């Protein structure tokens, strides 16, 4: 069945996710503030429009993939927001990584308007978005997830129902705190081997088959030239930005303060990515933290 989908946010993740929905035969109208991203979407068979409100009114489903809480609140709430435009019953899916609190605020407002809404942040990086192998961490009503599943299946391969509204965001923040810590640990370990005269590929290959194995070693090696098709081997471009990781670690620390949990490594990692960003690397992929841990000249 062909559905009429509006997809808002055609960035590193949103563009390939929306393209997969197009390839699956859906009529997808894409929106982004960056005209070049919209053109790229149109070149791949996506629909474009100058009238976002009209597109939302005609949509069966609206999917958003935006940077942070404030963008999502801005997109959904207010007189010109998605909630004001959508027809009753339109399914809303926010795939952005935002605070649990912001997700619940939008979820409550959607419910008041009779609009089923899911928070459905993802894991798997730009490769997962391109290959349709993302993991979705979903918060919201089971009935809304049942309606969303055929579309999530096109973009991902693992779909978890974490609980009610906001729960997808909570588990996503736990995962990304761990990822941020693992990327620094992996970078440190490779750097230590290199400083002692080892080939970074040998160090990586051994650790990937030993007890230090983790996702960053498997598919996202931070050392340039060790793995193909990863941000480190293309100047740390086109992946998951340092500033987005910094945002997620900030969400983790806020969540820990609110709940009384202890996150010593999460807090330290947030500070390291913060220093890296302040040194001018905010727009680079987060694996560029490897550069910050460089050897002495
Ligand atoms: P991105 O910055 O590449 O893309 C976000 C896009 O949203 C940009 O193109 C921007 O122009 C657009 N945008 C912002 N406000 C808009 C608005 N009001 N209307 C239309 N477009 C708007 O970010 P990304 O890497 O695609 O990440 C998106 C979200 O997914 C973030 O919350 C991020 O934390 C999360 N995420 C990213 C990755 C990754 O590997 N990049 C992985 C998992 C989750």
Q: Ligand 1, closest atom to CA 66?
A: 7
pLDDT digits (tens, 9 = 90+) for 197-210: 999 999 999 999 99
Q: Which residue is associated with the tokens 């935002």?
A: 98
Phi, psi of 214 (to 5 degrees): -160, 175
Crossing angle for the helix pair 14-23 and 142-155, nearest 10 degrees? 90
Which pLDDT does position 295 carry in this prediction?
A: 66
9 close to ligand 1 (CB < 6 Angstrom):
yes
269 close to ligand 1 (CB < 6 Angstrom):
no
Q: What is the mean pLDDT of residues 231-254?
A: 96
pTM for the whole structure: 0.93
The active-site residue out of 113, 157, 172, 278 is 172
For atom 41 of ligand 1, which residue has the closest CA? 240
13 close to ligand 1 (CB < 6 Angstrom):
yes
Tokens of 289: 């933290």
> How far is it, in rounded angstroms, from Cα 70 to Cα 55?
22
pLDDT digits (tens, 9 = 90+) for 95-152: 999 999 999 999 999 999 999 999 999 999 999 999 999 999 999 999 999 999 999 9
- What are the residues facing 241 on neighbouring strands? 285
> How far is it, in rounded angstroms, from Cα 135 to Cα 238?
19
pLDDT digits (tens, 9 = 90+) for 5-55: 999 999 999 999 999 999 999 999 999 999 999 999 999 999 999 999 999
31 close to ligand 1 (CB < 6 Angstrom):
yes
Q: What's the CA-to-centroid distance between 272 and ligand 1, angstroms?
A: 22
Render 26-69 in DSSP notation, one character per residue: -EEEEE-SSHHHHHHHHHTT-B--S-HHHHHHT-SEEEE--SSH
Q: Ligand 1, closest atom to CA 121?
A: 44
Q: Ligand 1, closest atom to CA 37?
A: 9
Q: What's the CA-to-centroid distance between 141 and ligand 1, angstroms?
A: 25
Task: For residue 201, indicate whether it is catalytic.
Answer: no
Q: What's the CA-to-centroid distance between 11 and ligand 1, angstroms?
A: 5
């Amino acid at each position: 069945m062909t559905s009429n989908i509006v997809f808002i946010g055609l960035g590193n993740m949103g563009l390939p996710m929306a393209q997969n929905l197009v390839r699956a035969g859906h009529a997808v109208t894409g929106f982004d503030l960056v005209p070049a991203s919209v053109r790229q979407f149109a070149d791949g068979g996506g629909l474009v429009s100058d009238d976002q409100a009209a597109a939302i009114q005609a949509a069966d489903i609206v999917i958003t993939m935006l940077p942070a809480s404030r963008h999502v609140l801005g997109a959904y709430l207010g007189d010109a927001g998605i909630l004001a435009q959508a027809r009753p019953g339109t399914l809303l899916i926010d795939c952005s990584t935002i605070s649990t609190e912001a997700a619940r605020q939008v979820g409550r407002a959607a419910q008041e308007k009779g609009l089923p809404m899911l928070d459905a942040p993802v894991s798997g990086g730009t490769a997962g978005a391109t290959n349709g192998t993302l993991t979705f961490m979903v918060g919201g009503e089971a009935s809304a997830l049942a309606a969303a599943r055929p579309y999530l299946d096109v973009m991902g391969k693992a779909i978890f129902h974490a609980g009610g509204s906001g729960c997808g965001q909570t588990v996503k923040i736990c995962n990304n705190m761990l990822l941020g810590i693992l990327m620094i640990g992996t970078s440190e370990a490779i750097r230590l081997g290199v400083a002692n005269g080892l080939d970074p590929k040998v160090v990586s290959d051994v650790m990937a088959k030993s007890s230090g194995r983790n996702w960053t070693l498997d598919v996202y090696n931070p050392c340039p030239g060790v793995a193909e098709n990863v941000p480190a081997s293309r100047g740390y471009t086109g992946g998951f930005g340092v500033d987005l990781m910094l945002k997620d670690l900030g969400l983790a620390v806020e969540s820990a303060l609110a709940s009384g949990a202890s996150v010593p490594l999460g807090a330290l990692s947030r500070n390291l990515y913060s220093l890296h960003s302040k040194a001018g690397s905010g727009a680079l992929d987060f694996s560029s933290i490897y550069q910050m841990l460089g050897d002495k000249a």
